[in-house]
Structure formats: C-alpha cells, structure tokens
A and B are shown apart, each in its own frame.
Chain A
Amino acid sequence: MIATAVLNVEKVSKTFPGQIALDHASLVVNPGRVHALVGQNGSGKSTLIKILAGYHRADDGAKASLLGKELDLVGGTGGVTERIHVMHQDLGLVNSLNSVENLALGRGFHTGFLGRVRWKDENARAKVHLATIGANFDTRIPVGTLTPSERSLVALARALEGWDDDGGGLLILDEPTAAMARLDVTHLFEAVRRIRSRGAGVVFVSHRLDEVFEIADDFTVLRDGKVVASGAVADLTHESLIELIVGRAIADIGTTTHEHAGEPVMEVRNLWGAQLEALDLTVRAGEIVGFAGLVGSGRDELPNLLFGATNRAAGSVSIKGNPVPADPHLAMCAGMALVPAERKRFGSIGHQTIRENVSLPRLRPLMSRGRLSRRLERADVAKWADRVELRPAEPERLFETLSGGNQQKAVIARWLRTSPSVLVLDEPTQGVDVGAKSTIYGLIGQAATEGMGVVVCSSESEELAAVCDRVIVLRNGRAVAELHGSSLSAESIVQQMLR
C-alpha cells in the first residue's frame, strides 16, 4: 500500500483512577480498507474510540496522524476534525423529523429571502447525498418510521456531509449492527462498501465475528488495554480470532462449585418477552445459574421479566410453587430480589443516604411503638454495611458519594437484607473496581451457600465462567446452549454467543 494511511496512531495510553484502560495501543487504518476493532467488554475498544472522537484525552506520549497531518490526542482537541466521523449505535437522529431535515440539522439549513428554507435545494441535495451510498427511499417521511437499516443510512449520509470532493477521511462505526436484523445489516454493509471504494478508511467495531469476516479487510484485537494482534482478516479463522479475543490467561477469581444444589426454588415456564422466546428454567437452592448473550439476545431483558418489572408476553414464574405475578412489589413478597443493571437510574436513590437506600424494601421490622425507629434502622444497616464490607461504612453518607464498587455492595446489601429465596443480579460488576469485584463474587457465592437460588446475567464471559455453576447462552432470544463442568469456560461462552 503506497498511499499514506488515513489514520496512524501509536502509543496511546489512557489511565483512569485505579485502572489502565489503554496501554500503548496502536492502530493503522489504510485508505479504502475496513478495519475491524475487536475485543471483549473492557478491553479498551470504546476508550480508544472515545479518544479519537475527542471525548477523552490520551495520556502523554501518544502520537497520531490523520491523512498525513499530525493529530493532537493529548491536548484534547485533536479528534475534533471534519475528517473523523463517528457513527454511534444510537445514531443520534431526531425521529420525528424526516431524512432531509436530519441531514440539514448538523450544518444548518440553506436559506433564502427572509430566512425561508430553500426546500427544493435541500430535497435535491439530500437525494443526491443518500443516493451515493445506495439509499433509495422516501426522504419526506419521519426517520422514526424508516427501517433500522434506512435509519443507519441517514446517519451515515449525515456523517459524510462535506466529504463529497475527495471522499477521504476516517469513518468510525461503533457497534452499528448491535440492534439490527440480518437483512438490515446487509443493506448497511453495501453502503459501507461504497464508502470504502471512494477511498475512505473505516473502523468497524462489532461483537459479531461473522460480520468481521464479511466486511473487514484488516483487524486489530485489544485485550486488557493492549493490542494483542493486528493483521489481515484473510489470515484468520473463526477459532483463531476467538482465541485472540479471549486469550489464554483467564483471571482466576476463585471458582467454587455448588454441586450440592438442593430443591428447586424457582421454576420458569415458557417465558416470552420482547426478544426472549420460550425460556424454561429451573433454579435449585444453592445453585448459581448464569446467562450469557449479546445485546438483543434476550439476556438484557431477562432479569426484569423474572422480577416483573417489564411485562411478560407469556409464561409463568414461580417460587417454591407460588406464582410470581408480573409486579416488582409482589415478586419481592414472593421471595425474589433483583440487583438491577444501571445502578444510578434503577438501583439507587443517589441523594438519599446509604441507610435509606438499604432499608427501603423492608421497613416494617424497624417499627417500634408506632413509628419508624432511627435507632433500629441505623443498627440494622450498620450490620449489613459490615457484612458486605462497605467502605466507608457510614450509613449516613449520601449514596452518590460512594465509589461504584461500594454502591453496588450497598445495593446487594439491600436485597440480602430481605432474605430472598431467589437472588437475580443483572451485570453485577458494571462500573466496579477490581477489589470490589472479588468482594461481590464472594457475596454471590455466600448467598448460594446459604441456600438461595442465584441467577447472574452478565456480558462478561469470564465473570460467568468463574462465578456460575452452569451458564445458559442466549442467542436471538433462544437458549442455545447450557455449559457446565469442564465444558464451561469463557471461551466456550463466547463461542456459543457469537456463532
């Protein structure tokens, strides 16, 4: 390849407090090539993208050039240039406006006399623009009514505004297909190929490996913030790529198996959700069951379906023979507990104290002489803070002032305090530091030892492999595999998830 690289970055590091997200990463994207950037959650992919897009600043020492011109990633303004466009998964379109208006929003409308929008011009421009990437649909209807692939084409067209002359630049597609059906993906890829043929460099981030093989020319694998491999996709096989992504050295979190699983505590029969299809599940006392799956596989909606926080399309859930209605309060009364994902939004009340957050589901036992006793409440919460190793163990602290790990411990304490029969955890270590992670794994194990049935839904395969007795893998809404014993490993989970 003789032409200068579209993008050439070297020695990009990024340190967050207590964590190295990127460690001397490098990436070369050539013109007319699609470059796949792959790696597990937390491998540093999104950090790298965010540095390129100008959201984060790189640590000192990073070098970068774009189309031969130097790019300052350390100063923080480097990424902000017309020649880098990032298309995020959520597309950033205004659904109530039509394609023409969405295209014009970013740069402003072309106006004439008295500020009147020149609609004829705008419409013609938009048509031409969309046609160059192969889009052919009614540009006058709201984008909310378009198909997912058509919407993604509008977003693509908008990203390419101003590239008409020479077609050069860097286009970053950040998991564009995560919520897309197969047919839509095909349409999107056609557009990406057109852009490639115009000489642009494309960075493609995806969890779906068959898509990598379909669209990408080159690849870079990140693991724990480091580049572990880079080269041409043609030299890869499915297996060798998975091996590169997962790596051999899987962190030992101290696996404990609960072979002595007891009586069934939770029975799920023919459960349907928006994505989940016909799930049957029996969880026994003292057992930890994991659920793995990509976004959209049904894994992310399963916890809320069990707890009744979202409506079940069909099916039943029962605990020890008693049906669990689709209502969080009644599910709680039936003996279920849910530690939700997205702590800030769903798991906690940030500007209330730890005490109020922990005691909330169960206040009656804290009544004394007709009133809620602060004394009893403090003592009870202090006991639980101690049990989950909360730091600092100050019940009167505001919840939002704790670190992510300690917030999560407090949410777990809230639910352990209700002594449930079934404990469901959704992404239990999301935004949690390493130290707190092992404490949380310990708490999960202890809950099982005490006889609870535990369900863990997680996007981290290593975590599932280490914590769970068995892992059920969901793909396109269906349970496609159950892994346990020697067949359970981070690799086997990823393999089943991506197939």
Chain B
Amino acid sequence: MTADAVELVPAHGSTGTRRSSLSRLAPSRASIVYIYAAGFLLFAIWIPDLWFSWVTHKSVLNISFAVPAIVAVGLVVPLLTGAFDLSIAGVMSASAITSSWLIVDKGWSIYPAIGVAMIVSLLAGVVNGVLVVKVGINSFIATLGIGAVLNAYAEWRSGGLQITGLPNDFKDLARKEILFGAQAKVIYLIVIAFVLWYIIEHTPIGRYLQATGDNQDAARLAGVQTNRYIFAALMTSAFVAGIAGVIQTAGVGAGNANTGGPFLLSAFAAAFLGSTQFKGRFNVWGTVAAVWVLLSLVKGVELALQSYRWLNQLFFGTALIVAVGMSKLLVRRTVRLAGRRRQRDAAEATP
C-alpha cells in the first residue's frame, strides 16, 4: 500500500541518540538557514539597492510565499505516513474553479461557494483514501489518477476560459493587508501551519502518523490504526489544498483551470527539503522555511538577471533532487557509522 515509504526513511544524526533542541541549528541540521544567509549576502553585494528595499521582501511575502507554503505544509501530513499525494494540484484547480464558477456564473454569495469548494476538496480526499486504504492502490498511482480527473473537471467546468468578475469582497479575503503590511493569506498560512505543527508535534496523533510512515507493519502491531491515519492524512492534504485553491483564486482575482499546476513541484520540493531541516523527518516549520528561502533566492536572481520564467522550475527541481539525495547520503552515513560502532563493540566483547 505504501511501498513508497522506503523512499521516505528520514535521516537522523549519527550519534545514536536524538539531539537536544539547541543543536538543531547546527549546520548539518539547519543547512537552509546558512543557505539563506549566503544568498542574502550574495544579493546584498550584487544588487544592494533592490535587495535592501522592503518592497522586494514584501512582494515575496505577499505575492509568492503564502499559497505554495500552505499547499506544502498540507502535503507534510500524508508524507509523514508514507503516502504520496499527487492530487493536490488537481484539488487546488477544482476548488478554484468551483468557487469562482458558483460566485460568478451562478451568483452565489461568497461563503456558501467556498463551502461547496471545500466539500469538493474533501470528497477528493475521501476518494484518495478509499483507493489507497481500502482498495490498496499505491498512493502514488491513485493520487496521480485522481489529480488528472480533477484537472479534467476544472477544464470542463471553466470551458477553458478564465472566470473573471469576482467581487472585491472575495478578493479581499486574500489580499487585505492585516498585519504590518502582510496580506490575509499570510495569516491563513500561519494559522494552518500552527495547527498542523501542534497536531504533529504535540499530540499522540503526530506520533501515530510518524510511526505509520516509519514502519507500517510494526505500528499496526503496536495497536496504531494505521489505515485510519493514512486515510485522515490524505483528507487533510486535500482539504488544505482546497483552501489554497480558494486563496489563490482570490489573490489572483480570477478562477483558472490550471490554478494548481505550478504548486505541485514546489510543495514536494519544500516538504522534502524541509524534511532535512531541524528534525530529520517531515516537519511543518522546516517546510515553511524551505518555501521562504527558495522563493527569496528566486526573487534575488530574478531581480539581478531581470526576470526569467525558468527560474522557479530550476530552483525547485534542483532543491527536490538535492534534498532527497542529501537524506539518502545521510542515511547511508548513519548506517555506516552504526556498523562501525557495532564492530567496535564486538571487538571489545571478544578480547
């Protein structure tokens, strides 16, 4: 069911014990902080005028940051259980088109329309859950298929055209500046990330999700209802992607059948890069930090070279490969060190 979990073995430190919170900022555990610092320095020298302008960072914050970060933290939940969710892009598009179609074409008021969009998203999560948990289809395959079906729905519903003419009340849901010039969508991100962080790190549910992803057989035999958690995780990522679809639509001010497309790669790249940060496994704040750092670097290069459309793809694609490669190498190192330690112990045991 989640044979793909093999790919997700987190890379812990090598001392045999988990480290204290202080050492979480060591270069090997929080490389992203150092990457950001290096990038910051580079752009400070390269394009000081643009880089030291508040407008630059505010545009990263308000325009590019919130939506990909929301999708990515939602994705963290199924990844923790060892399940992939490739349908998040499709869910985003479906929820974007559903909400904007109901508001513009059907004349619904905002909140019922959003409500229906969320129900559609949750339904997609339920279908994913049934296919993965009950039918036993590999999550990679099941969510790939469902994602495509959702994209088809969005294309069909929109008739291939942008749905424009959304009311300002709706656009304000995402764009309104609330705190220190940060738009509402940034606040949503913080709330969603906080809730998921709390559940994952501070409640038994987090432990169960993680145990499921680390060794599903052993977790089940330890009394963990692994199927239930995989199901719930897929519903969570779909629900959060649905929210992101609505926010993106409000932010852009138009419903688009390909709303979700660009966010699939960024979500996976950020979640995997985040998994190499702070904890040695998928975690919320590592993922948020990964999105922020990657987008800031993209912004810097964009300003320095004057806008290239290929930057996003290049950065996120590279980040995904580097992150997964890094965790592979770390696992191999851990295994090697553990082997050496056993050898030493054995040598001591037999003089």
Contacts and interface: CB of A to CB of B under 8 A. Distances in A.
A353 B18 contact: yes
A348 B215 contact: yes
B194 to A, nearest CB: 13
Contacts of B306: none
A431 B210 CA distance: 27
B335 to A, nearest CB: 9
A352 B219 CA distance: 12
The 5 residue pairs across chains A and B that have the minimum distance between CB atoms = A332-B223, A363-B204, A17-B346, A371-B202, A401-B16
Given A397-B17, A398-B17, A401-B341, A356 B221 contact: no
B17 A309 contact: no
B49 interface: no
Contact of A360 (B10, B12, B202, B211): B211
B222 interface: yes
A17 B225 CA distance: 39
Given A353-B18, A398-B18, A364 B12 contact: no
B350 interface: yes
Contacts of A372: 202-204, 206-207
B345 A360 contact: no
Contact of A352 (B204, B211, B341, B349): B211
B218 interface: yes
A348 B350 CA distance: 28
Given A372-B203, A401-B341, A351 B214 contact: yes
Contacts of A328: 220-223
Interface string B336-350: 001001000110011
Contact of B223 (A17, A329, A396): A329
Contacts of B221: 307, 309, 328, 338, 340, 346-347
B45 to A, nearest CB: 41
Interface string A310-347: 00000000000000000011011100001010000111
B61 interface: no
A17 B350 contact: yes
Given A328-B222, A363-B204, A372-B206, 10 more contacts: A17-B350, A18-B350, A328-B221, A345-B217, A347-B218, A348-B218, A349-B219, A371-B198, A396-B17, A397-B16
Contacts of A350: 215
16 contacts: A15-B350, A17-B345, A18-B350, A332-B223, A333-B223, A345-B217, A345-B218, A348-B215, A351-B10, A359-B207, A360-B219, A360-B222, A360-B223, A361-B224, A367-B204, A401-B338
A267 interface: no
Contacts of A363: 204, 207
B9 interface: yes
A371 B202 CA distance: 5
> Which interface residue of B221, B224, B341 has the most chain A CB atoms within 10 A?
B221
Nearest to B348: A17
Contacts of A307: 221
A157 B220 CA distance: 41
Contacts of A356: 207, 211
A223 interface: no
Contacts of A329: 223-225
A348 B216 CA distance: 10
B216 to A, nearest CB: 10
Interface string A155-189: 00000000000000000000000000000000000
A211 interface: no
Interface residues of A, number: 39
Nearest to A373: B202
Nearest to B206: A372
Contacts of B211: 349, 352, 356, 360
Interface in A383-412: 394, 396-398, 400-401
A351 B219 CA distance: 13
A346 B207 CA distance: 17
Nearest to A364: B204
Interface in B27-82: none
A299 interface: no
Contacts of B341: 401
Contact of B224 (A17, A351, A360): A360
Interface of B: 9-10, 12, 16-18, 198, 202-204, 206-207, 210-211, 214-215, 217-225, 334, 338, 341, 345-346, 349-350
A284 to B, nearest CB: 24
A401 B345 CA distance: 11
B27 to A, nearest CB: 21
Contacts of A396: 17-18
Contacts of B217: 345-346
Contacts of B225: 329
A414 B349 contact: no
A370 B202 CA distance: 8
Nearest to B334: A351
A373 B211 CA distance: 18
Interface string A268-311: 00000000000000000000000000000000000000010100
B213 to A, nearest CB: 10
Contacts of A371: 198, 202-203
Contacts of B203: 367, 371-372
A349 B10 CA distance: 12
B9 A351 contact: yes
Interface in A97-121: none
Contacts of B207: 356, 359-360, 363, 372
A401 B215 CA distance: 17
Nearest to A433: B349
A372 B198 CA distance: 10
Nearest to A332: B223
Contacts of A340: 221
Contacts of B349: 17-18
A85 B202 CA distance: 56
A298 B225 CA distance: 26
Identify which of A329, A350, A400 gathers the most chain B CB atoms within 10 Å of its CB: A329
A346 B218 contact: yes
A120 B87 CA distance: 49
B67 to A, nearest CB: 29
Nearest to B338: A401
Nearest to A395: B17
A307 B221 CA distance: 8
Given A351-B12, A398-B16, A401-B16, A309 B350 contact: no
A212 B72 CA distance: 63
B222 A414 contact: yes
Contacts of B10: 351
Nearest to A363: B204
Contacts of A333: 223
A275 B9 CA distance: 35
